[in-house]
Structure 1
């Protein structure tokens, strides 16, 4: 559906511009007064470069005073642009490939029609916009190796230690591990609606106490669910108590350890749950109560012949 939406339909048409002969101070004043994040630099009316809030932040790290510095010396050029007729999916791919956040819209005559940024695009394709998101082609293939899960991936690991690996008993321990990717974060935000910027925006998160983007706490808790889902039998979650002790960084490998501590009767068990990051720091701890039913009779997997 998104590939049918043209950039012209969502772009900001009222673009703030500055002439090439202007100085950096002029552009800084425009950014502040117009409350925008970028100024397109023009030469005889044609767009030739762009200066953004990020540009000023970078330049101030190398210069003590930008005051009289010509825009031509600090603007980003050559200018990356997009056609008004391009789809917003194409715009997303271009922003990601060029590692930029602002894309001026230029028509076939070279005239500036508008500008599209990650802000506008996030309203339509939040699961595509983030720079570091892994594509589906980069994901390890699905593989069917169990009767109680629809598929596994080669980069997931699971181990189970018990006296009888066909049933659950006190003392048994299950561990599940996977890397929390950008794609995981984007998909979780889209499905749940939890689009807190600390999970999705690098620049925003850098200004928080964490200093970087972090994994949703409930997503970290989901690694526990993944481990429990692979216990012998059909695992049914009854309750979960969790304490979040430390942030989990995006791209880190999370490991859930589930230790069966008590048989509650009626096929119910209490389980201590812990999640650690790649450096074995405990980021979450708690306990769960689950009900273990027998697996249903084996049936053909839906879409078993389909390859992702």
Structure 2
């Protein structure tokens, strides 16, 4: 099939990927991104066929494979979709977007990268001005390194695959001259800090400014200070995040609602 026909097929089925067959044998997958990348690279696609732009060989998973195995297969091969097979027959496509609710659990369960090993590098502290309860002046801090694995998992789970964060050669051509951490991933450390406040913390709003990039692999520290009680268990906080050189990389304010924790269920 010609490249224009492939593009028309993608448009007609209103999907992001098609399977390439040789007779009845699946030999590759073409996504919209594959076509865009080929055009962006300046390739002359006139007269070329599907074979010239397809990703091959196609990654496959059995329809009976556990969800965790499917997610691990996509992660290990660094692909966004895999063919789902029943014997030698194609019965579907498994996509990262469909696995979003499960990907974090699958990553946690990878035996070669246990979450506990990373948790040992997490640090938090809470300065309570007037115990017990939340009051103006209370400060909570949370610190962790943002690793390459964090970056990859965030890209898979969120779908944010901006090449500035993932493609070294591309990033070298930008104003930053290297890859940097996603802004939303960096600010998630602030959310983690807020979760350390006593009670059930519910994020209501935030207004942040990104002052400087966060380097991959460096430790960042979020600091959140209660600056106002808004009534009805609502609080406004000044939020800040610093890198290893004490550079303020993020600043702003947030509002949270803090409910009492539900009573623990009785154990049997």
Name the structure 2 match of 1:215: 185
Could you tell me how far apart the structure 2 residues matched to 1:258 and 1:25 are?
53
Name the structure 1 match of 2:145: 179
1:84–1:107 Cα contact (<8 Å) kept: yes
3-state SS, counterpart of residue 86 of structure 1: coil
Residue 244 (str. 1) matches residue 244 (str. 2): no
Q: Deviations over 1:140-171 (max 9, x none)?
A: 648xxxxxxxxx9431245799xxxxxxxx99
Residue 127 (str. 1) matches residue 92 (str. 2): no
Name the structure 2 match of 1:114: 92
Could you tell me how far apart the structure 2 residues matched to 1:257 and 1:75 are?
47
Residue 276 (str. 1) matches residue 262 (str. 2): no
**Total equivalences in the alignment:** 227
Please provide the CA RMSD for this pair: 5.1
Residue 32 (str. 1) matches residue 11 (str. 2): yes
Q: Deviations over 1:94-119 (max 9, x none)?
A: 111111111112232x2222222123
Name the structure 2 match of 1:164: none
Structure 2 unmatched ranges of 5 or more: 128-135, 165-180, 228-234, 256-268
2:240–2:250 Cα contact (<8 Å) kept: yes
Could you tell me how far apart the structure 2 residues matched to 1:82 and 1:254 are?
38
Determine which of 38, 41, 51 is the counterpart of 1:59.
38
Structure 1 unmatched ranges of 5 or more: 1-21, 143-151, 162-169, 188-196, 230-234, 262-269, 289-308
Name the structure 2 match of 1:103: 82
Bigger radius of gyration, 1 or 2?
1
Could you tell me how far apart the structure 2 residues matched to 1:53 and 1:90 are?
26
Q: Deviations over 1:184-239 (max 9, x none)?
A: 9989xxxxxxxxx9981124798xxxx9461396762441553x66xxxxx999xx
Could you tell me how far apart the structure 1 residues matched to 2:190 and 2:32 are?
33
Could you tell me how far apart the structure 1 residues matched to 2:18 and 2:103 are?
24
3-state SS, counterpart of residue 72 of structure 1: helix
Q: Deviations over 1:46-78 (max 9, x none)?
A: 111111112112212323431321212221111
Could you tell me how far apart the structure 1 residues matched to 2:71 and 2:200 are?
40
2:108–2:115 Cα contact (<8 Å) kept: no
| Aligned-pair CA distance for 1:41 | 0.7
Q: Deviations over 1:8-52 (max 9, x none)?
A: xxxxxxxxxxxxxx1222111111121111111111111111111
3-state SS, counterpart of residue 68 of structure 1: coil
1:128–1:186 Cα contact (<8 Å) kept: no
| Aligned-pair CA distance for 1:257 | 3.5
User: TM-score if structure 2 supplies the norm length?
Assistant: 0.60
Could you tell me how far apart the structure 1 residues matched to 2:84 and 2:27 are?
12
3-state SS, counterpart of residue 112 of structure 1: strand
